[in-house]
Amino acid sequence: MLSTVIRSARAIKARPNVSAVRAFSSSTCRRQEIVPTSLNVFSDEEVMLRETVQRFANDVVAPKVREMDENENMDPSIIKGLFENGLMGIETSPDQGGAGMSFTSAIIAIEELAKVDPSVSVLCDVHNTLVNTVIRKYGTEQQKDKWLPQLSESKLGSFCLSETSSGSDAFALKTRAKKDGNDWIINGSKMWITNSYEAEIFLIFANVDPSKGYKGITCFIATKDMGIKIAKKEQKLGIRASSTCTLDFDDLKIPEENIIGGEGKGYKIAIEILNEGRIGIAAQMLGLAQGAFDKSVPYTYQRKQFGAPVGTFQGMAFQFSQAAIEIEAARLLTYNAARLKEEGKDFTKEAAMAKYWASVVAQNVSGKAIEWAGGVGFTRETGIEKFWRDSKIGAIYEGTSNIQLQTIAKFIQKQYS
């Protein structure tokens, strides 16, 4: 599905676009001046991807959202559909089964899925922006050729960093790995691990030399059939269809060849990847806010009181305007961070800003959306209340809101002190 979209978009892209650049030439030189564009300008590939994800979300995901939420279980057909539509290897090279698209394309997919179900969105997000990216960025060519086709075509991935004693202080982890000939033996446990119930491929962070502190942390690839045990599946307030589990590793044997990036490089991998992941969570919260807005506002123009649609009352209209401004600000922060990342520029501060603000907006707008719809919004039938429940996690995972503010404050201090 996605490969067809990409081919069509690239055919369009191949056509000359004289309005995009102005060329100046002389006998000695030729120069092209790039015309600046807004953050609302997307490539043909990105536009077509958005349309593809919108159709999948509305036609395939939407009918199953309430059932999945009530059952606290991801429908296997949804995961299969994500793979079949090419949404699980968005940035991965076509040579390794992926779509070969931009980072912004992944952010678009995450946003569009979240407009319908943030649970499906975060499954796609973690798989693309964390698991795939680690292997694509730090893996050897042999590792990429072995694991990326599987992750693009059929096998869900999970990122295993957090533990009971290492949440915001991620590098206080206690999971240990000891060398045993050509293998490593891992013992310990992980907590709050997204996708872990359905995943078949896991990135596990463990310390190979505690005397070195965080410089002993190493990233390993493992598969569920190696002996990964699901100790507990959490029952959560929101994103209930997204699995969150505690995992136990009891003498888990992993071959030497499954180390990613080299011994002791796990801390560097985690820091860099989580910066990218925060843009993904920002996109999820952005889509969530827009989804709640889109569900609630139309109802207010149908519901009449005192002879007029309640949405036309000034008190309501002004709240809509405020929410729309907040959503647009979150969108600009999110896509600015994504484009900076693509340009190879530092985006750590911008990613923190995007995640922080999008999480705030998601909670504000989804909460207001319930009130706008009145008693109907408070029922589970409309699905509006689910957006509010799902929004609460945005201020917690992949770095709490306080961690984002701390990160931003460090940049401010560096600039002004």
pLDDT, residue 222, reads 98
H or E stretch covering 180: strand 176-180
H or E stretch covering 342: helix 314-342
* Rounded to 5°, angle at Cα 18 from 12 and 21: 110
Question: What would the two tokens of residue 146 be?
Answer: 């072995």
Is residue 24 scored above 70 in pLDDT?
Answer: no
What distances in angstroms separate CA 140 from CA 45, 89, 147, 269, one per listed residue? 28, 18, 11, 14
Task: Give per-residue pLDDT as tens, 149-175.
Answer: 999 999 999 999 999 988 778 778 999
DSSP symbols for 231-289: EEEPP-SS-TTS-EEEEEEEEEEEEGGGEES-TT-HHHHHHHHHHHHHHHHHHHHHHHH
Q: What is the CATH number of domain 44-155?
A: 1.10.540.10
Is residue 30 scored above 50 in pLDDT?
Answer: no
- Residue 85's pLDDT band (cuts 50, 70, 90): very high
Q: Mean pLDDT across the stretch 265-286?
A: 96
pLDDT, residue 168, reads 76
Percent of the chain with pLDDT over 90: 88
Q: Quickly name the fold that domain 159-264 has.
A: Butyryl-CoA Dehydrogenase, subunit A; domain 2 (2.40.110)
Kindly name the residue from 91, 111, 163, 398 that is annotated as catalytic: 398
More confident residue, 357 or 30: 357
DSSP-H helix ranges across 31-171: 44-56, 65-71, 76-84, 103-114, 118-125, 133-138, 141-153
Q: Mean pLDDT across the stretch 65-88?
A: 98
pLDDT, residue 203, reads 98
Among 248, 251, 294, CA closest to 115: 294
- Residue 417's pLDDT band (cuts 50, 70, 90): very high
pLDDT, residue 17, reads 43
d(CA 301, CA 372): 10
pLDDT, residue 16, reads 40
Task: Give per-residue pLDDT as tens, 216-263.
Answer: 999 999 999 999 999 999 999 999 999 999 999 999 999 999 999 999
DSSP symbols for 388-416: HHHHGGGGTTTS-HHHHHHHHHHHHHHHH
Question: What would the two tokens of residue 91 be?
Answer: 């940035």
- 398: annotated active-site residue: yes
Report, in angstroms and rounded to the nearest whole number, the Rg of the chain calculated over CA atoms.
Answer: 22
Q: What's the predicted TM-score (pTM) here?
A: 0.92
pLDDT, residue 165, reads 82
Q: Mean pLDDT across the stretch 31-38?
A: 67
Q: Where are the domains of the chain?
A: 44-155, 159-264, 267-416
Encoded amino acid at 45, one letter: E
Question: What would the two tokens of residue 179 be?
Answer: 């060398």
Among 231, 269, 268, CA closest to 248: 231
pLDDT, residue 1, reads 67
Encoded amino acid at 385, one letter: E
Task: Give per-residue pLDDT as tens, 195-208.
Answer: 999 999 999 999 99
DSSP SS3 for 223: strand
What distances in angstroms separate CA 303 from CA 292, 330, 380, one per listed residue? 17, 29, 18
d(CA 293, CA 366): 7
Describe the crossing of helices 2-13 and 44-56 by its angle, rounded to 10 degrees: 160
What distances in angstroms separate CA 382 from CA 316, 369, 389, one per listed residue? 20, 11, 13
pLDDT, residue 338, reads 98
- Per the prediction, the chain carries an average pLDDT of 93
DSSP SS3 for 87: coil
Task: Give per-residue pLDDT as tens, 378-411.
Answer: 999 999 999 999 999 999 999 999 999 999 999 9
pLDDT, residue 21, reads 31
Q: Mean pLDDT across the stretch 272-291?
A: 97
pLDDT, residue 15, reads 45
Does the domain at 267-416 match CATH 1.20.140.10? Answer given as yes
- Residue 29's pLDDT band (cuts 50, 70, 90): very low
pLDDT, residue 4, reads 65
pLDDT, residue 410, reads 98
Among 409, 404, 417, CA closest to 282: 404
